[in-house]
Chains A and B, each alone.
Chain A
Amino acid sequence: MAPLLEVQGLSLAFGGVQALDNVSLDVEEGSITAVIGPNGAGKTSLFNTISGFYRPQTGRILLEGTDITHRPPPKRAALGLARTFQNIALFRGMTVLDNIKLGQHVHMKTGLLAAGLYLGWAQREEIALREEIEHDVIDFLEIDHIRNAPVAALPYGLQKRVELARALAMKPRLLLLDEPVAGMNREETEDMARFILDVREERGITVLLVEHDMDVVMDISDHVAVLNFGREIGAGSPAAVRDMPAVIEAYLGHADAEADMPGASGAS
């Protein structure tokens, strides 16, 4: 079976800076795949290209065999691509509930006229939406106590969780998480790691994540790809990647250093 996401020979340059250089990556259906690498390695550029904000100069991106390289971001959402952002990008003027409701935007049909009149069909759709996210997202991520709170007032860790909730409400096939545990304390990190595993186990959603916290990466991912200076320098199981000389060098500077990288949690 073909991988859920295929990235083939992606290159992206900003002026003279080569952000991505012939990067290829396969994400198997049902897997948790991690992309790691030092700062400036091109991880976020890769994410932004996959979600459609940057146009690659060469290469292709296939989602379930469909070439999405030239589709605008909203079209990718409809095909089952969801993501979170490194610096939380919630809708700050709305409540938690409304933020999550927005996740289902592409799956709803109500148009302008029906929305304004709030008659039959529109109302049923809104109520069905409410029931669905209450059960599938709010209960699931244990955020029922804050559903009516304005997101701007929430602590950082909860905002991250709401962003995950919003992405889940999109009912994605593939979920991109950009540094899901960055800046969290240990307890919040453990909660988030558990939620990511649950997302895969209970929902069967495939996850692709960028993360600096090596403990989390090693614990939850099935497959790890390592980027440095826009190039892929290694890929494989967490255990295999951990021992690759090129990877150790990228992180520690020279190959003969002690390979204690996995312990360096929160390396940045």
Chain B
Amino acid sequence: MLIGNFKERYEADEAIFRTTRSRVWLGIAVALIVAFPFVGNSYHLYMAGLIGINIIAATGINILTGYTGLISLGHAAFMGVGAYTVAWLSNNVGLPFYICLPLGGLVAAAVGVVVGIPSLRIKGLYLAIATLAAQFILGFVFNEWEPVTGGGRGTSLAAAEIGGIVLDTEFELYWLIVVVMVLALLFARNLFRTRVGRAFIAVRDRDISAEVMGINLLRTKLTAFALSSFYAGLAGGLMAYFFKVVSPEQYTFSVSIFMLAAVVVGGMGTILGGILGAIFMTLIPEILGEITQIFGAGAVAMLSSAREVVFGLLIVGFLVFEPRGLAQIWKRIKRVYEIWPFRT
């Protein structure tokens, strides 16, 4: 049972991991992440890499949709912008990955700002349509702008390389992804305990009060758009190095829905929500795959359809029954544990 959490200094009270227990949890998580690649096989590492990338992307859409209250139906398109930028820079300019990746994020952010500009005039739901339009327009560009994107077949790129080490196995890519993911998560977590992040939430909760507090709505929304797209671009860039190929069907509307589902399921407006949602949603298709294999080859062909149904059911189910997602369920479990042996 947790009795109290007393602090003598405001610094301590403003820290991210405030209790000894949460610091212990953090330690365990770090240990697991570091130990994992030495015990897992290449399939496990492949899945871990995918999860890591999806965590970054989901955190990005969470910043826009969960924290700022602007629905994005075009997140995958921004991931695509990052991926194609990285591929093009790597192939045509020959830049190393540690320059390509941030540039991919920046280009995606710039495109995101353009799409976000209508937010000057339109509110909430209409903006969702603007992101939908962006999804289809960018998808069209990926397919048709052949000299740059390679058209429908896509484009391939060389493995990332640093100091003579080529990152071309799951083991090496795992570390790259983990480092980027941890930085991205820390950045987001810090953001939401400071002025800039609070302004995002203020715009979501009560835009009128936010204006009275001196928050410039347009600038805040555009910043959220830019940051969210930057995360998407970063995730897309990592995907490019992960698969070593970039093609239009990796960044379709249904991937945008996947990302939206991840934050809904995980819990909108919490960092933990993005993490849990991304893990859960990445594993679901695998579990579905295992199940369909029991029913034989015919069932396997239906996998992608079944996946869509399950994603949809998860979105609807969580919104109806647990709108604050897995993060809230986790919180509830934690609470039971903290006040044990008493009950609420």
Contacts and interface: CB of A to CB of B under 8 A. Distances in A.
Q: Is chain B in direct contact with chain A in the complex (CB below 8 A)?
A: yes
Given A116-B190, A130-B14, A101 B208 contact: no
Interface in B1-46: 10-11, 13-14
A74 B209 CA distance: 10
A131 B195 contact: no
Interface residues of A, number: 42
Contact of A89 (B190, B208, B217, B269): B208
B209 A118 contact: no
Interface string B91-132: 000000000000000000000000000000000000000000
B196 interface: yes
A249 B234 CA distance: 68
Given A115-B194, A122-B194, A130-B14, A77 B187 contact: no
Contacts of B213: 74, 77, 102-103, 105-106, 166, 170
B188 A74 contact: no
Contacts of B14: 126-127, 130
Given A77-B214, A105-B213, A170-B213, A53 B190 contact: no
Interface residues of B, number: 33
Interface string A103-114: 101101011100
B343 interface: no
Contact of A105 (B11, B215, B217, B269): B215
Interface stretch (B197-205, B290-298, B333-341): B197-205
Contacts of A105: 195, 198-199, 202, 213-215
Nearest to B208: A89
Contacts of B205: 90-94
A238 B10 CA distance: 45
Interface in A66-113: 72-75, 77-78, 82-83, 85, 89-94, 98, 101-103, 105-106, 108, 110-112
Interface of A: 51-53, 72-75, 77-78, 82-83, 85, 89-94, 98, 101-103, 105-106, 108, 110-112, 115-118, 122-123, 125-127, 130-131, 134, 166, 170
Given A74-B213, A78-B214, 7 more contacts: A53-B211, A72-B211, A90-B209, A94-B202, A108-B195, A116-B188, A127-B14
